[in-house]
Structure 1
Amino acid sequence: MKTALTIAGSDSSGGAGIQADIKTMTANGVYAMSAITALTAQNTTGVQGIFEVTPEFLGMQIDSVFTDIRPDAVKIGMVSSVGLIEMIADKLKHYEAQNVVVDPVMVATSGSRLISEDAISVLKARLLPMATLLTPNIPETEVLAGREVKTAKDMIEAAAFISENYHCAVLCKGGHQLNDANDLLYRDGSYRWFNGKRINNPNTHGTGCTLSSAIASGLAKGMTLDDAVENAKEYISGALAAMLDLGAGSGPMNHAFDIHSRFAEEEK
């Protein structure tokens, strides 16, 4: 069985973060492991508190995984401080990690910054050049490219800038009223659009975490990057189309929509 490691924050309500990552990896047929960067108290209405781990303890978690069950892919999510970013970069370099997918969580859906300027600088210098793929949304693409993204042409130009500067592939995710459900994969000087179907579901908590984890799962199983992205988009469409409706705010998706097991059946 192929394996994948998520390095990210915990979401106590289970819709995003490592909980979403583990559910996604399991549903996509790989063995999931985690190194937790922060504990959060959050639910569908917002984040009530954040408690970061120390860089030393994060390093111990990563060591524990790599020295025993080596991951075939690594997904990196919420990392908001310089020390944690540097620790992750040091460890991934030391273990020569493969198939690294970075979801650069910088800007909340509300538009508020989740990461300091110092941390963004270290992320750009240390972590992004180690990535196989970056998966920024539109506001994160604007931060990484240092320019506004208002049109499809802007998406292509910004993705080209990011890819050429950090020497990695970029999946610029549509949304925020621009090219909704359509994502742009840019690498090696060329690009491809992945068109998704717009699903009218307001419960989208954890979509970014889920997409990046599904891509990492595909890479862990030996898929090409194009196939991993296509497969991940199909999976997330199914999870959204299941129309799970939990919580008072923007609720989670049904990560287990395609799991059909006698153990998963509801009692009659």
Structure 2
Amino acid sequence: MMTSPPPRILSIAGSDSSGGAGVQADIKTITMLGGYAMTAVTAITAQNTVGVQGIVPVSGAMVLQQITSCIADIGVDGVKIGMLHDEDVIGHVAGALEGVRAPVVLDPVMIATSGAALIAPEAVEALRQRLFPLATLITPNLPELAALAGRPLVSKQDMIDAACDLAEATGTAVLAKGGHRVEEAESERIVDVLIVPGARAVAFDHARIDTPHTHGTGCTLSSAIATLLGHGQPLEHAVRLGRQFVLRAIEQAPGFGAGHGPLGHQSVRSDGSRIS
């Protein structure tokens, strides 16, 4: 019996040596969701569950070569973009993707868990100008959305307003992720909001899981959505299924490391259910 080939998903992101985030998390997610994973590594890091011990950036020219090598030969049905550390890389990635018709999910990795900025202000502006218009979906967390909005986001309504402003300014769908606490009354539940220009806002809600093992959740969600879009799922359904995959992976976290441990990607089936 003939079977259709898996969607070809390209992850453009940094490498996490401990395997919890970055291209390693993307490869696991893409594979578990039935995709064929390819990578363009933007930086090499030495890191684990307690922090980042070292980082070596990859030149924009080399990132471009990786992207074009994959697309020219294998082809691409979906793209996930993660950490892009400077204007050089951003410019080369934008140039490589300008003619690509596959959906692009952009996770704007800008701020570390500690609150430290991961990219320079001029690189943030390059993201706005060069890559946001190319994206199908942008997936900022609350600190990243606040930085893009240029104002603090205290309440859920603040988050929604900032996401609407970003979607209107870019003409791109925005998934505002509410995992970071806002109002105390809302702290026991996580609300993510999908804003699509010209369409109704859609809220996704679930109880907060009490666990420290959440390293790589943003990477996992964005690569899951990219893979599901590559399968041909509509955007809202891809977001819904991607969130379910992340929740199951958090529940199945192996408990590795002394800090914020990795998710249990390989313990989740491609339909989002647990493997027993």
Give the TM-score, by structure 1 length: 0.94
Distance 1:12 1:175 in 2: 24
Which moved further from structure 2: 3-12 or 183-192?
183-192
Which runs of structure 2 are paired with 1:24-173 in the superposition (5 Å)?
24-93=29-98, 95-173=99-177
1:224 aligns with 2:234: yes
Tell me the SS of whatever aligns to 2:175.
strand
User: Residue type of the partner of 1:89?
Assistant: A
Distance 1:143 1:127 in 2: 17
Match of 2:215 in 1: 205
How far apart are 1:139 and its partner, in Å?
0.4
Distance 1:239 1:207 in 2: 9
Check whether the contact 1:201–1:243 (CA below 8 A) recurs between aligned residues.
Answer: no
Tell me the SS of whatever aligns to 2:232.
coil
Tell me the SS of whatever aligns to 1:251.
coil
Listed as ranges, the gaps of 5+ residues in structure 2 are 1-5
Check whether the contact 1:8–1:78 (CA below 8 A) recurs between aligned residues.
Answer: yes
Tell me the SS of whatever aligns to 1:256.
helix
How far apart are 1:172 and its partner, in Å?
0.2
Match of 2:260 in 1: 250
Could you list the per-position Cα deviations for residues 16-65 of structure 1 after superposition, in whole angstroms to 9, with x for gaps in the alignment?
A: 00000000000111101000000001010100111111111111101100
How far apart are 1:201 and its partner, in Å?
1.4
Distance 1:258 1:62 in 2: 29
1:184 aligns with 2:200: no
Distance 1:235 1:168 in 2: 24
Distance 2:268 2:154 in 1: 35
Check whether the contact 1:100–1:130 (CA below 8 A) recurs between aligned residues.
Answer: yes
How far apart are 1:243 and its partner, in Å?
3.6
How far apart are 1:76 and its partner, in Å?
0.2
Distance 2:41 2:106 in 1: 15
User: Residue type of the partner of 2:26?
Assistant: D
How far apart are 1:214 and its partner, in Å?
0.5
Check whether the contact 2:50–2:258 (CA below 8 A) recurs between aligned residues.
Answer: yes
How far apart are 1:259 and its partner, in Å?
4.6
Distance 1:248 1:97 in 2: 42
Could you list the per-position Cα deviations for residues 112-157 of structure 1 after superposition, in whole angstroms to 9, with x for gaps in the alignment?
A: 1101001001111100111000000000001112221111111111
Distance 1:33 1:188 in 2: 30
Check whether the contact 2:22–2:219 (CA below 8 A) recurs between aligned residues.
Answer: yes
Check whether the contact 2:33–2:269 (CA below 8 A) recurs between aligned residues.
Answer: no
Check whether the contact 2:253–2:261 (CA below 8 A) recurs between aligned residues.
Answer: no
Distance 1:67 1:24 in 2: 23
Could you list the per-position Cα deviations for residues 218-244 of structure 1 after superposition, in whole angstroms to 9, with x for gaps in the alignment?
A: 100000001000001110110011142
Distance 2:39 2:206 in 1: 29
How far apart are 1:188 and its partner, in Å?
1.6
Could you list the per-position Cα deviations for residues 146-194 of structure 1 after superposition, in whole angstroms to 9, with x for gaps in the alignment?
A: 2211111111110010001111000000022135522000012431101
Give the TM-score, by structure 2 length: 0.91
Match of 2:3 in 1: none
Check whether the contact 1:11–1:18 (CA below 8 A) recurs between aligned residues.
Answer: yes
Check whether the contact 1:28–1:214 (CA below 8 A) recurs between aligned residues.
Answer: yes
Match of 1:13 in 2: 18
